[in-house]
Amino acid sequence: MRPKLDFWYEFASTYSYLAALRIEALAKERNVDIAWRPFLLGPIFKAQGWDTSPFNLFPHKGAYMWRDIERLCDAQGLKFRRPEPFPQSSLLAARLALTPEVTPRRAEFSRRVYLVHFAEGARIDDEAVLRGIVESLGLDADTALTQSRSDAVKLGLRQATDEAMRLKLFGAPSFVTLKGEVFWGNDRLETALGWASKERS
């Protein structure tokens, strides 16, 4: 069995953008398969009494994050444009990622959502923007949007977020190995891949 790593990401998360755009190349070098696991951070933040991103609740931390992301995007060769407002609801993007129509292309869909949101500054809570991304993949946007409203997809996203809570995830991106070792943050991606590649199942 090939080593595997679960990549837990939130579409509104800046550091998830950085991880999403580099994880597949790094995983390939180490022969690790990546499972793309979108989830919502909102309910997790709410459970600890936060009604928005910690980067808004704690302004110094927020100001630092924007500068840090700018430096990291420069180093990674990625464009960056700060979305306004921040954060935006990622509910529809996450549901679309879980639809049968998008699932076979979930990684590429997710990368495109991140680029549109954080490189171009477009809104990810705008159905038209997401429709355009689905279409850019050659997929059927009407089918994907209809499926995104189905009970199965809604439940799937709730279950993913519940699973993230059971794993005690508290931020994104997070990486979880087959044996349950958890790593938090884009900075831990290499370590997480190395750990996953050494785990024997």
Query: Would you tell me which residues interact with its own copies (CB under 8 A)?
Result: 48, 58, 60-61, 63-64, 67-68, 71, 168-171, 182-185, 187-188, 191
- Beta carbon of residue 177, minimum distance to its own copies (angstroms, whole number): 12
Which residue, 15 or 109, has its beta carbon nearer to its own copies?
15
- Beta carbon of residue 170, minimum distance to its own copies (angstroms, whole number): 4
- Beta carbon of residue 198, minimum distance to its own copies (angstroms, whole number): 13
Which residue, 14 or 99, has its beta carbon nearer to its own copies?
14
Which residue, 86 or 184, has its beta carbon nearer to its own copies?
184
Query: DSSP readout, 18-68?
Result: HHHTTHHHHHHHTT-EEEEEE--SHHHHHHTT-SS-HHHHSHHHHHHHHHH
- Beta carbon of residue 154, minimum distance to its own copies (angstroms, whole number): 25
Sign of the alpha-carbon torsion through 125, 130, 160, 73: negative
- Beta carbon of residue 54, minimum distance to its own copies (angstroms, whole number): 9
Which residue, 2 or 60, has its beta carbon nearer to its own copies?
60
Phi/psi-derived region of residue 162, left when phi > 0, alpha when psi is between -120 and 50, beta in every other case: alpha
Distance CA 113, CA 105 (A): 12
- Beta carbon of residue 12, minimum distance to its own copies (angstroms, whole number): 19
What is the 3 state secondary structure string of 57-124?
HCHHHHHHHHHHHHHHHHHHCCCCCCCCCCCCCCHHHHHHHCCCCCHHHHHHHHHHHHHHHHHCCCCC
Single out the residue of 94, 144, 135 nearest to residue 114, CA to CA.
94
Which residue, 32 or 145, has its beta carbon nearer to its own copies?
32
Which residue, 131 or 188, has its beta carbon nearer to its own copies?
188
